[in-house]
């Protein structure tokens, strides 16, 4: 050992000699390999030390392992020398910091923990810097940063404490718009854990189509239905009025045309993966739609979704009458469906998630614990807690803290190769 190393050990011994125990922070870094954690703690055993904290991260084959130990004063030189020898053997770098007392523990802030998820096809360093800066401005402390997805988007999760998530949402929404990335802010307190209810719009969300347009094409009324839709978008008709006007144009359509329209439906990429994963977790899933039960219910069954709330076309003598029967599933109806299902399943509102794309979804997006605007119109994005601007519905999983690796591992165990 050189003179500098001997001096370091002597300083450590003097520090330890002042009292019975000291806090030692040991950090190993280098190429990852099996057994590093085992070797470190085997080296530290047998001297009466207590483990106070451990943190470990592996990125691209590089390991950083940190351990905080409460160590008796006596064997300081022995332990320091042993750790340095271990690092040399493993061809890793070692850092050993000794404190005369345990680091002060900050008084807990009234807010709970937060998780911020940042997603983009091409995630810029400036986006990460902006998010970290905003957390610091709010007085928050980042405890962990990890990549949770590399496909179909890059998703990074920040986890920490010290700032109320509600205080971060508005400034991070501004960063999201400026940088062109999707950012979600969530509370990670105990009350957010447990079963969730996920309520999804159907047209242009779970599927890429508009059901009324598919039926209008079958009836030869595509242009007429489009004109009514344009009047509704211009504010001349509300949803209920436009629904009745468009359905009236379907009068006389044979019932078998519904099956033909259903066969033309294209699921949104990632819809199967999303529903399959949520079902594995035991979450409750519901589809709510201004479309029609006769088309949507079979789609829901194929996705393993048991709960469907939609409008029902009246059929008499094998033909559509041009009317809908039962309660209309409109903007208030979607919110009511979310609220009723939450009560039915005993799930608190804060553990509900709503996903939609249009003005008809605004009320349920606002009512949910987490409202997600999926490739949405501006009015829906403004009402939602966060937005997803990539065309992959399973990206929603990353906002829930579910990693791509976890999804792929579960699919592999079940022998599933279809990730659509």
Compute CA distances 333 → 39, 360, 378, whole Å: 60, 9, 21
Q: From the CA atom positions of the chain, what is the Rg in Å?
A: 28
Q: Which tokens sit at 47?
A: 């001297």
The DSSP annotation for 58-86 comes to EETTEEEEEEEEEEESTTHHHHHHHHHHH
Q: Which tokens sit at 240?
A: 């209920």
The one catalytic residue in 130, 182, 187, 201 is: 201
Which DSSP state fits 194? S
Active site residue 55: no
How many other C-beta atoms lie within 10 A of the C-beta of residue 45?
Answer: 9
Among 236, 237, 202, 188, residue whose Cα is nearest residue 393: 202
For the chain, how many helices (H) and strands (E)?
A: 16, 15
- Sign (positive/negative) of CA torsion 399, 400, 404, 405? positive
H or E element, residue 280: helix 271-280
The DSSP annotation for 1-54 comes to --HHHHHHHHHHHHHHHTSSEEEEEEEEEEE--TTHHHHHHHHHTTS--EEEEE
H or E element, residue 182: strand 182-187
Give the position of tokens 């205080």: 167
- Sign (positive/negative) of CA torsion 170, 141, 185, 148? positive
Q: Which tokens sit at 188?
A: 């990670």
Active site residue 201: yes
- Sign (positive/negative) of CA torsion 171, 175, 178, 184? negative
Q: Are 402 and 253 in contact (CB under 8 A)?
A: no
The one catalytic residue in 203, 209, 357, 363 is: 203
Catalytic residue set: 201, 203
């Amino acid at each position: 050992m050189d003179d500098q190393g001997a001096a370091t050990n002597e300083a450590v011994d003097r520090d330890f000699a002042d009292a019975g125990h000291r806090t030692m922070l040991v950090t190993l870094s280098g190429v990852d390999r099996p057994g590093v954690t085992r070797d470190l703690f085997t080296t530290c055993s047998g001297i009466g030390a207590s483990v106070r904290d451990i943190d470990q991260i592996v990125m691209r084959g590089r390991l950083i392992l940190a351990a905080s130990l409460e160590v008796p004063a006596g064997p300081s030189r022995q332990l320091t020398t042993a750790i340095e020898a271990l690092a040399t053997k493993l061809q890793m770098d070692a850092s050993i910091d000794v404190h005369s007392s345990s680091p002060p523990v900050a008084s807990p802030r009234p807010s709970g923990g937060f998780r911020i998820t940042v997603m983009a096809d091409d995630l810029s360093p400036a986006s990460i810097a902006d998010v970290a800066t905003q957390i610091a401005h709010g007085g928050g402390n980042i405890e962990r940063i990890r990549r949770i997805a590399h496909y179909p988007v890059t998703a990074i999760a920040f986890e920490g404490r010290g700032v109320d998530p509600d205080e971060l949402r508005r400034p991070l929404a501004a960063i999201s718009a400026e940088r062109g990335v999707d950012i979600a802010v969530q509370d990670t307190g105990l009350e957010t854990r447990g079963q969730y209810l996920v309520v999804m719009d159907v047209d242009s969300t779970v599927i890429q189509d508009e059901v009324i347009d598919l039926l209008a094409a079958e009836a030869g009324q595509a242009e007429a239905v489009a004109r009514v839709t344009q009047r509704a978008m211009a504010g001349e008709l509300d949803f209920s009025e436009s629904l009745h006007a468009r359905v009236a144009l379907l009068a006389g359509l044979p019932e078998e045309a519904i099956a033909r329209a259903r066969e033309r439906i294209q699921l949104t990429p990632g819809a199967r993966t999303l529903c399959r994963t949520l079902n594995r977790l035991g979450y409750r899933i519901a589809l709510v739609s201004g479309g029609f039960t006769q088309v949507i219910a079979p789609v829901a069954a194929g996705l393993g979704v048991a709960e469907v709330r939609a409008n029902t076309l009246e059929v008499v003598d094998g033909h559509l009458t041009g009317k809908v029967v039962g309660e209309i599933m409109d903007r208030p109806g979607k919110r009511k469906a979310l609220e009723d299902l939450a009560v039915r399943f005993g799930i608190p509102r804060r553990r509900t998630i709503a996903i939609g794309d249009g003005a008809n979804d605004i009320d349920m997006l606002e009512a949910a614990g987490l409202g997600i605007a999926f490739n949405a119109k501006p009015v829906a994005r403004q009402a939602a807690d966060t937005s997803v601007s990539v065309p992959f519905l399973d990206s929603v999983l990353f906002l829930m803290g579910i990693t791509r690796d976890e999804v792929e591992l579960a699919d592999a165990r079940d022998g599933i190769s279809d990730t659509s």
